[in-house]
Amino acid sequence: MAFHKPMNVLCQFTDRSVPPRPTLAGFGLPKGVYAAGRLDFDSEGLLLLTDDGALVAAIGSPKFDWPKTYLVQVEGTPTDEALQRLRDGLELNDGPTKPAEVAVIDAPAWLPPRDPPVRVRQTVPDAWLRLVIREGRNRQVRRMTAAVGLPTLRLVREAIGPYTLDGLAAGQWREVAAPELPARLRRSEAPRTATQSARSTSTGEGRSVPLSRQEAAARPGLIRPWKRDGR
């Protein structure tokens, strides 16, 4: 499934917060599907969902290198130097980023105003970037733009590999053909189920990592893969 996630919606179907936050359960998605990759609570745009556990795990894996395309509204005026730093890769507190593709674009005419509205300062200009990355660390796009002096105001994921929003309004979804995974990914990720992948911890734009043994032990009902072979 291709789903246009609105802002302030969790990429999961339940929330134990009090009061609970909006989740995927409110959009009539088919039963048994889970997010393949993640998108931050305060980000918008394309989210892929599937009931294929290997696919859930593979797309969320750091081995998976599909390009992820973001439309980013930033505060400030992008300079050639700032754009080149993004293209070259820059140093974040968790290590260097891979080189990104980036271009200044006009405000997307098809994209409606955000709800809630973006807070902009009348005395400070803003601009739009199209940014393409092949990794997905915690809040990576926001940290990258901030590192070059361009704080992110709005973040919309436009595409994941060959899949795009393609006219989907916020909250809408459609069925899409499943991709063929490279054999190396399907072999390495096949033992995981969709439920296990959905219970991974989110790391931000586009990626999740498995729960640690200690974290999993604290969650009743979770199948612990190391128990299968006696470890």
58 in the same domain as 77: no
The three state secondary structure string of 13-64 is CCCCCCCCCCCHHHHCCCCCCEECCCCCCCCEEEEEEECCHHHHHHHCCCCC
- We report the CATH number of the domain holding residue 111 as 3.30.70.1560
**pTM for the full model?**
0.80
More confident residue, 18 or 122: 18
| 40 catalytically annotated | yes
Structural domain ending residue among the three candidates 160, 194, 209: 160
110 in the same domain as 171: no
Burial class (CB in 10 A: 0-12, 13-18, 19+), 95: exposed
58 in the same domain as 72: no
Residues spanned by the domain of 11 = 1-62+163-231
Structural domain ending residue among the three candidates 110, 139, 160: 160
What pLDDT does 59 receive?
Answer: 84
As a whole number of angstroms, the distance between CA 44 and CA 39 comes to 7
For the residues 182-189, what does the mean pLDDT come to?
A: 62
What pLDDT does 77 receive?
Answer: 96
Please, are residues 98 and 135 in contact by the beta-carbon 8 Å criterion? yes
206 in the same domain as 97: no
Dihedral over Cα of 127, 161, 173, 50: its sign = negative
73 in the same domain as 4: no
Structural domain ending residue among the three candidates 109, 134, 160: 160
Residues 6+ apart with CB under 8 A from 212: none
Examine residue 151 and say whether the peptide bond preceding it is cis (omega within 30 degrees of 0): no
pLDDT at 94 over 70: yes
Which of 104, 101, 100, 114 lies closest to 5 in space, CA to CA?
114
For the residues 186-196, what does the mean pLDDT come to?
A: 52
76 in the same domain as 42: no
96 in the same domain as 55: no
**Mean pLDDT over all residues of the chain?**
83
C-alpha 75: how far from chain center: 21
134 in the same domain as 89: yes
153 in the same domain as 77: yes
- We report the CATH number of the domain holding residue 188 as 3.30.70.580
33 in the same domain as 4: yes
Report the domain count for the chain.
2
pLDDT at 198 over 70: no
How do residues 121-157 score in pLDDT, each as one tens digit?
888 899 999 999 998 888 999 999 999 999 999 999 9
Q: First vs last Cα of the chain: how many Å apart?
A: 36
106 in the same domain as 125: yes
214 in the same domain as 197: yes
How do residues 71-82 score in pLDDT, each as one tens digit?
999 999 999 999
As a whole number of angstroms, the distance between CA 11 and CA 161 comes to 19
Selected catalytic residue, list 40, 88, 106, 126: 40
